[in-house]
Amino acid sequence: MDYNKLHLDNILKDMEKDENQAYLLTQFTNVEYISNYKPTSFAFCIIKDNPIIYASKMHMEIAKRDSSIEVKEFEKFETMLSEIKKEGIKNLAIEPSLVYSTYEKFKDDFNIESKNYIEKQRMIKTPTEIKNIEKATEIAQNAFRQLDVSSRDETEDVLAFDLVRLMIENGASSESFDTILVSGSNTSLPHAVPEHKTLETPILIDWGAKYNGYCSDNTRTIVYTEKEQEIFDIVKESHDKAIKAIKPGLKCNEIDNVSRNIIAEYGYGDQFIHSTGHSLGLDIHETPGFSMKDDTPIEKGMVITVEPGIYLEGEFGVRLEDTVAIGSKAKIIGDLPLVL
């Protein structure tokens, strides 16, 4: 199946309902999603009946090689605007993320409306996308298995570097975000940065690989003391019951409530300081997510993380994260156990 064409057709249908004649994309992964070409500098993708990408001269070779839609060399704004206006386009949809300086260049010539057409498409993953996420997860988990943290003789930053190296050796194009490998009191910081210090306890590792452009995301916490184990068990219960509760038709915030309420029952509600999970795909953070404010209905084909955590300020933190693919229920992607 030509999924690029399927996505384009669905977006065009949504645009027609809103009487928008064209849709401007500049976000790199959105352009990639539609065309298979991922820009590395600016590009303008105009979705319309005959979609087109305007790319710089230095990127024309790779754009023409990779893109499933027409590519034209970008010369200057005035030329591009003139060509769009010649087609009689007056109503133009834009991504909400479009930078204001670019918006200013279009606002005088078109009726502009901010729309999430492409985010709506990206919520539901195709079988090919899910296979890429599964492969990225397999690579990341194999690399983790090859990483030796048991001796605790190495420093956080060196081990984090080693994990990235192992992911690439196992077939990743890169890490999918900056690898977090921290220990001791720094584990109470959800996005702590690895330091040049030997490992303390507990040890928290949040890592992911990229494969064919698609991301994976896992977190494991290795605990040693009785108090660490107590917190680990609470987080594990929250993680497991949230995944078990996931099914199409429920709202995302209902799953957040399941996870959050379990932690609150043990008296640690104020120490769960982020949402329960986020979608991923070409980007590490996509929509929807398991959060208190997200009432998006859960649908088959969504791929979302589940990552409850408890963070005791100045002491330590525990987070456990798996990514699930949603069918009639949630299926964990990968086979790395929570207890290591």
Residue 163: band (very low, low, confident or very high) from pLDDT cuts 50, 70, 90: very high
Within a domain: 339: no
Domain count, the chain: 2
Q: Is 337 within the bounds of a domain?
A: no
Q: Is the dihedral of CA 10, 15, 21, 23 positive or negative?
A: negative
DSSP-derived pairing of the beta strands 174-175 and 180-183: unpaired
Where residue 204 falls among pLDDT bands split at 50, 70, 90?
Answer: very high
Phi, psi (5° rounding) for residue 71? Answer: -120, 135
Alpha-carbon span 69 to 51, nearest angstrom: 7
314 is a domain residue: yes
Main-chain dihedrals φ then ψ at residue 253, nearest 5 degrees: -70, -20
Same domain, 114 and 228: no
Position 65 in a domain:
yes
Q: Is 37 exposed, middle or buried (0-12, 13-18, 19+ CB in 10 A)?
A: buried
Q: Which residue has the tokens 């070779």?
A: 61
Which domain CATH number covers 103? 3.40.350.10
* Residues 118 and 138 placed together within one structural domain of the fold: no
Domain end residue (candidates: 122, 150, 180): 122
What is the per-residue pLDDT across 174-183, written as a single tens digit (0 to 9) for each?
A: 999 999 999 9
Domain boundary among 68, 91, 122: 122
85 and 140, same domain (yes or no): no
Q: Indicate if 138 and 257 belong to the same structural domain.
A: yes
Are residues 188 and 55 located together in one domain of the fold?
A: no
Do residues 92 and 48 make contact, with C-beta atoms less than 8 angstroms apart? Answer: no
Read off the pLDDT of each residue in 300-329 and give the average, rounded to a whole number: 98
96 and 181 in a single domain? The answer is no
Q: Calculate mean pLDDT across residues 152-164.
A: 93
Residue 153 has pLDDT above 90, yes or no: no
pLDDT over threshold 90, residue 3: no
- Residue 283: the pLDDT is 98
**CATH code of the domain covering residue 269:** 3.90.230.10
The alpha helices in 188-251, defined as continuous H runs, are 226-245
Domain carrying residue 194: 127-332
pTM confidence score: 0.96
Q: Are both 115 and 41 inside the same structural domain?
A: yes
Cα distances (Å, whole numbers) of residue 171 to 95, 311, 336, 339: 33, 33, 18, 25
Q: Are residues 290 and 144 in the same domain?
A: yes
Residue 114, pLDDT score: 97
CB contact at 8 A, 74 and 249: no
Q: Which of 313, 320, 232 is nearest to 276 (CA)?
A: 320
